[in-house]
Structure 1
Amino acid sequence: MSQPLVHPSSIVEPGARLGDGVRVGPFCWIGEDVEVGEGTVFGPHCTVQGPTRIGPRNRFVGHVAVGGDPQDKKYRGERVELVIGEGNTFREFVTLNRGTGEGGGCTRIGDRNWLLAYTHIAHDCIVGNDCVFSNNATLAGHVTVGDHVILSGFAGVHQFCRIGAHAFIGMGAFVNGDVPPFVMVAQEGYSRPRGINAEGLKRRGFDAHRIAAIKRAYRALYVSQGPQEEARERLSALAGESADVRELLDFIEAGERPLLR
């Protein structure tokens, strides 16, 4: 690999570490206590504040600001960090904040995610792998997002909520409760579940048998009448025959916030 290439107009502070093949475009600032993995590229006007750890082969298109102080009044300057995996794309004006001392101390982004223009991820969030956040999608603090999740444009997620793997959040939806895996959410006044993300599951190789089991679980949880405890009993019976339903049930049982309904 080649040595890092830094445009003359950019500033890389002492203490920053750039891996092989890193390219830093014009008018960037990379602070101390920042580590950048090999092959990562920064377009113009990017800002990285530490402590931040960035894995290999990430792409910051331009005007991206990552590693900033958490936007939390309780933050008192304690050492907190941002950790980014590998192969992610961050489009124009994406903002990522570091964690807080009371929230675990770390904001964490996985691998191969696409974060489109003006996406914001707040302090102490955890984002999995292979997610797509469309323009202006926003996570408040302490949100956990599973793998293969899609947030459409202008979607917003309330603090401390969880979004399970393979969920789909529709355009402009405001999420104020946990969203189980595989579920699709759409806006109508307050956002609510609208079925499972069947098309997304097909694209990821889920066969008809798996999708049918997830549909049965969704009907048990959201369509059938009766208290939620009865729905959990039905899910428990279905989980014996489907690992996907077991994943959905485990997600529900681990939650502290109510489900989005």
Structure 2
Amino acid sequence: MKKTAAQNSIRPWAVLFWLLVWQGASMVFSALWPNGHLLLASPISAALRLGELAFTAAFWRAVGGSIAHIFGGFLAGCALAVALAALSARWRLVRELLYPLTAAVKAVPVVSFIILALVWLDSRSLPLFISALMVFPPVYLNVLAGIAAADGKLLEMARVFRVPLGRRLAGIYLPAVLPYFRSAVSLALGLCWKAGAAAEVIGLPSGTIGERLYTAKVYFQTPDLFAWTAVIVAVSVLFEKLFLALVDALAGKAGL
């Protein structure tokens, strides 16, 4: 297990290699075409532009606006998924009703949902809704699987001795569900940031990263495009690590 984790980790030399490839490709573009730097900005120019943007208030407003919408959608999607998974585990009818919905969300391209949702929602609500929608299937299905994996003998014993619901949840269901939930949110956080950023680019809510990405594309501000993309990746990774650390801390506190 440790060997597999080491094999999947990001190596600094590999990152440096691809940065050099990027830099070389940018230099070739600039040499072959008069405006080649507009087609592919170098990593140096993107990093310098990111440094410039980081010292502006508009940059932090855009980052904060996107975090509020996308991470808010993530939390809403998680809460709804956990609640409906509990109901589905209890009642088969609920599970059968939700199966076509989860299958559709998994199969339909996110851009179709974005365009359709624009008919009903304003542009500021769109990223929150899309993020929640993308988070729902993996969290719902994994939590449902975790509930099904709970020890049947322990549950039978809890019923026989009339163990209170709270103790059953903490002592039997939580240890079974938590590994599934942790795996699901690790995947869902990346999905919701990708989908949420796409919704911002299409819906163009003001004061968001998606709006800045679209502006950079329209005006051929390639360094800005790469800089804002790097911000999305960095914020997504940061929130994934923080949220998973919180889940692990809660698990440790619960003695799991």
Which is strand-richer, 1 or 2? Answer: 1
Higher relative contact order (Cα pairs below 8 Å, separated by 6+ residues): 2
Larger Rg: 2
Class of the TM-score when normalised by the shorter of the 2 chains: under 0.3
| TM-score, structure 1 normalization | 0.22
